[in-house]
Amino acid sequence: MKIAIASGKGGTGKTTLSTNLAMFLGESESVVLVDLDVEEPNSHLFLKSELLRKEDKMKMIPRWESASCTLCNECVELCNFHALICLGNEILIFPNLCHSCYACSELCPTYSLPMEAQKMGELSHFLAHPIEFVEGRLNIGEEQAVSLIAQTKKYVEKHFYDETITLYDSPPGTSCPVIESIKDADFVILVTEPTPFGLHDLTLAVETTRALGKKFGVVINRYGMGDDAVEAYCQNEDIAILAKIPHLLEIAQCYSVGKLIYPEVDSFKQALEEIATFIKTLSQKEVMQ
């Protein structure tokens, strides 16, 4: 079962919830945590982990073969991303603009643009007893996160059983990287905080999740720091609030040094228990179906 942990706004506690929930569930279930926030992957900071495997992740980019090229300019005209230009009697390629659609390569009349792999990031697979942990990490200077997110998910699908509880720590926002990381999830947990920014970005995240036809619930983090507008919104929209995590200095301090929170703070552990119970009923329903 795949559960994506997402939020519209950054810094609401996605990673805190992902890492703690994974370790907590891992005490009784088989769990893999997957960091899909490939631009700023942070889950590893909170887990004591041992590296099992590391792979370079590639994207496919055309390479120009001058010998066979007739400079017909077909490739330049058909690239919708302007990733190729013809300068004098040379074809120049801009890898950062390329979306790896293969159109130039496969439609080149003289086969002068073979596709070649270029490193875009890394995938690491760790053992973080009792769970397993997989991280995608985009190279600095790379601009397209979506392909790495897709490849990271593919790795997890290949290496783990369907029954394993898979938790995706998703990137923030509502644009394509988020869509990529929640589109095949069975359930989405939206983490928010009870402030106007939190509410505003939650409504965007709810719209996104609904547009994808996903089942979802909300966790309110730092409960008590702001007002009750988020709760009122959830009530009006008939959205399930899975748990409320209190706004405590202790939690922020554990987080700041990369410590897991539930072993130290009881009220946090209670919130995790509520979410865990909910997830277990979800997976039972799935088995029944």
* 40 versus 286: smaller Cβ distance to other proteins: 40
- Rounded least distance, CB 252 to other proteins, Å: 6
* 105 versus 112: smaller Cβ distance to other proteins: 105
- Rounded least distance, CB 222 to other proteins, Å: 8
- Rounded least distance, CB 175 to other proteins, Å: 4
Residue 40 near other proteins by CB under 8 A = yes
Residue 236 near other proteins by CB under 8 A = no
- Rounded least distance, CB 83 to other proteins, Å: 10
* Binder among 56, 106, 250, 273 for other proteins (CB under 8 A): 106
Residues within window 45-74 making contact with other proteins, judged by CB under 8 A: 45
Burial class of residue 139, CB neighbours in 10 A (0-12, 13-18, 19+): middle
* Binder among 28, 70, 235, 253 for other proteins (CB under 8 A): 253
- Rounded least distance, CB 100 to other proteins, Å: 6
* Binder among 201, 230, 239, 268 for other proteins (CB under 8 A): 201
Burial class of residue 170, CB neighbours in 10 A (0-12, 13-18, 19+): buried
* Binder among 67, 87, 140, 288 for other proteins (CB under 8 A): 140
* Binder among 85, 86, 93, 212 for other proteins (CB under 8 A): 212
Task: Give how far Cα 286 sits from Cα of 154, 254, 289, Å.
Answer: 21, 35, 5
End-to-end CA, the chain: 13
- Rounded least distance, CB 111 to other proteins, Å: 16
Interface mask toward other proteins for 144-173; x: CB under 8 A: xx-------------------------xxx
* Binder among 48, 119, 200, 215 for other proteins (CB under 8 A): 200
Instruction: Return the HEC string of the chain.
Output: CEEEEECCCCCCCHHHHHHHHHHHHHCCCCEEEEECCCCCCCHHHHCCCEEEEEEEEEEEEECCCCCCCCCCCHHHHHCCCCCEEEECCEEEECCCCCCCCCHHHHHCCCCCCCEEEEEEEEEEEEEECCEEEEEEEECCCCCCCHHHHHHHHHHHHHHCCCCCEEEEECCCCCCHHHHHHHCCCCEEEEEECCCHHHHHHHHHHHHHHHHCCCCEEEEEEEECCCCCHHHHHHHHCCCCEEEEEECCHHHHHHHHCCCCCCCCCHHHHHHHHHHHHHHHHHHHHHHHC
Residue 92 near other proteins by CB under 8 A = no
- Rounded least distance, CB 159 to other proteins, Å: 20
For binding to other proteins (CB under 8 A), which residues are involved? Answer: 8-12, 15, 39-40, 42, 45, 78, 80-81, 99-103, 106-107, 138, 140-145, 171-177, 179, 183, 195-197, 200-201, 204, 207-208, 211-212, 225-227, 252-253, 255-258
